[in-house]
Chains A and B, each alone.
Chain A
Amino acid sequence: MWLLSAIISLFTTNLIFTRALGTSTVLAASRNRSNLPVLALLMTVFSSLGCLLTCIVFRLFKLQSLVEYPYSLGLPLVYTVIISIIYCLVLVLLFFVMPDRFSGYKKYVHLSVFNCAVMGTLYLAFEPMELLENAWFYSDRFVFGSVYADRFTVAGALLFGLQEGLGFLLAALILSAVRERLYDPEVPAVFRGFPAAMIYIGLISMAIYAITVN
């Protein structure tokens, strides 16, 4: 049952379809199916490690109050430093583990590091507690009910980052499945490509909202 609701929540709390976060990155990822697994894996790594490291930093230095206003104004700086550390670690690791593929893969690392999806995941993972009580998605509360009780747990943070990364992969797969049709010559020229993709994402988003909103 837990696994089923976790799978459903990949749709119902999807960053792209419910929050529009990382839309331009997912459009870039869906351009080439061979790029997709690498980019989605990197997004998952960045969001999971980002949540994990943020949780450790918050707990270690007792910075939980940073999520409250006015300290929250400094959050972009904290999150940027954390993501930068992971960015450097991933690049160094890639260089030493796969030196022959480093030049080919580093462009994906650059593309997947600083974007709304990764940064947005950190924001969502460490929202102030009173916001969580207003969470409007049933599944959000259902799946992570126990984690929401204390979002600053290492397991909770890692799980949340992993879920958002997998949600990105799912959205990219859904988009890449119809990409050829969105660019089909039979689609009117003015709607072909990007405009059609926006309307398509809108329709999927509408369907997800219809089943999840209270």
Chain B
Amino acid sequence: MRDKKHSLLEGLTRKNAVLSEGMVIAPIVVLCDTLPKSAMLSLAFSLLTFLAVAIGSYYPRKLPYAVRVILYALTAALLYIPVALFCEFISPDVYASLGTMYVPGIEEAASAAVMYLPLLAVNSFIVLHSELYFYRMQRGPMLISLLCHCLGFSLTACLIGFLREILAYGSVAGHVVDMPLVMHALATPWGGFILLGILCALHRVLFLKKEEA
């Protein structure tokens, strides 16, 4: 019983979607350069993924795999519209900032990253992991596990956003912090890749057994 409960919570820790499974990397690397942007991305991802996977679990298993996958993607694409409107309603400024990315030389490249939020509609949780993992469970435990995976993604996104903002811009959620040195490079996509690699290694140290690592 205890093992079962533990395995449902693995999405938060040991089987973290980003740090352990290497899923949904693009939005993390490009968008999560500040804490508010990361929080907004987490909200959009969690709402979209939770609802799409939960609704997808009601589609008949008799349908061919290709048809089911198309239905999952179409469901997520439909859900994206209210989710995006909701995110914009909560904080229009932060929502608008999700379209920008940091590029050395021109600082904020306006609207260069507008596609990353809509791309969540085809994230691997919805079109791949749902079939391979979530839909093999009963609905109750599946929803708990899904929630833990979404929370795991959100915590990782916020941690990366926090670290990148404080190290690259010397601020936390827009409030300037007295940092002796800032490294703007960490706000770039390649800075995101390198930081993600380091955090993956730390995650292994913390959560995986020695022999597995």
Whether chains A and B associate is: yes
What is the interface of chain A, defined by CB distance below 8 A to chain B? 18-24, 27, 72-77, 79-81, 83-84, 87-88, 91, 110-111, 113-116, 119-120, 123-124, 127, 130-131, 134, 136, 189-192, 194-199, 201-203, 205-206, 209, 213-214
* Listed stretches B24-32, B35-43, B151-159; interface member: B24-32
Q: Is B26 touching A194 in the complex (CB atoms < 8 A)? A: no
Do A205 and B193 contact each other (CB < 8 Å), given the known contacts A23-B26, A24-B25, A123-B119? yes
Chain A min CB distance to B21 (Å): 8
What is the interface of chain B, defined by CB distance below 8 A to chain A? 22-26, 29-30, 65-66, 69-70, 73-74, 76-78, 80-81, 84-85, 103-106, 109-112, 114-115, 118-119, 121-124, 127-128, 185, 188-194, 196-198, 200-202, 204-205, 210, 213
Cα–Cα distance between A113 and B70 once the two chains are bound (Å): 10
Q: Is A91 touching B66 in the complex (CB atoms < 8 A)? A: yes
Can you spell out 8 A-B residue pairs with CB atoms less than 8 angstroms apart? A20-B26, A21-B119, A22-B26, A76-B77, A88-B66, A88-B70, A134-B109, A198-B197
> Nearest A residue to B109 by beta-carbon distance?
A136
Q: Is B77 touching A80 in the complex (CB atoms < 8 A)? A: yes
| Other-chain contact of B197, A127, A130, A199 (Cβ < 8 Å) | A199
Cα–Cα distance between A74 and B127 once the two chains are bound (Å): 19
Chain A min CB distance to B206 (Å): 10
| Other-chain contact of B196, A27, A130, A198 (Cβ < 8 Å) | A198
- Chain B residues in 8 Å Cβ range of A88: 66, 70
- Chain A residues in 8 Å Cβ range of B112: 131, 134, 136
Chain B min CB distance to A95 (Å): 11
Q: Is A205 touching B189 in the complex (CB atoms < 8 A)? A: yes
Cα–Cα distance between A195 and B204 once the two chains are bound (Å): 10
Do A120 and B201 contact each other (CB < 8 Å), given the known contacts A87-B66, A87-B70, A114-B73? no
- Chain A residues in 8 Å Cβ range of B24: 24
- Chain A residues in 8 Å Cβ range of B69: 110, 113-114
Chain B min CB distance to A7 (Å): 22
Q: Is A20 touching B25 in the complex (CB atoms < 8 A)? A: yes
- Chain A residues in 8 Å Cβ range of B81: 73-74, 77
Q: Is B197 touching A213 in the complex (CB atoms < 8 A)? A: no
Q: Is B103 touching A20 in the complex (CB atoms < 8 A)? A: no
| Other-chain contact of A116, B70, B73, B84, B122 (Cβ < 8 Å) | B122
* Listed residue (A18, A74, A76) with the most chain B CB atoms within 10 angstroms of its CB: A76
| Other-chain contact of B103, A202, A206, A213 (Cβ < 8 Å) | A213
Q: Is A110 touching B25 in the complex (CB atoms < 8 A)? A: no
- Chain B residues in 8 Å Cβ range of A191: 197, 201
Q: Is B193 touching A202 in the complex (CB atoms < 8 A)? A: yes
* Listed residue (B84, B121, B123, B192) with the most chain A CB atoms within 10 angstroms of its CB: B121
Q: Is A199 touching B193 in the complex (CB atoms < 8 A)? A: yes
A-B CB proximity, top 4 nearest: A202-B193, A198-B197, A123-B115, A205-B190
- Chain B residues in 8 Å Cβ range of A27: 22
Cα–Cα distance between A113 and B73 once the two chains are bound (Å): 11
- Chain B residues in 8 Å Cβ range of A199: 193-194, 197-198
Cα–Cα distance between A198 and B191 once the two chains are bound (Å): 10
- Chain B residues in 8 Å Cβ range of A192: 213
Q: Is B205 touching A119 in the complex (CB atoms < 8 A)? A: no
Chain B min CB distance to A135 (Å): 8
Cα–Cα distance between A201 and B194 once the two chains are bound (Å): 8
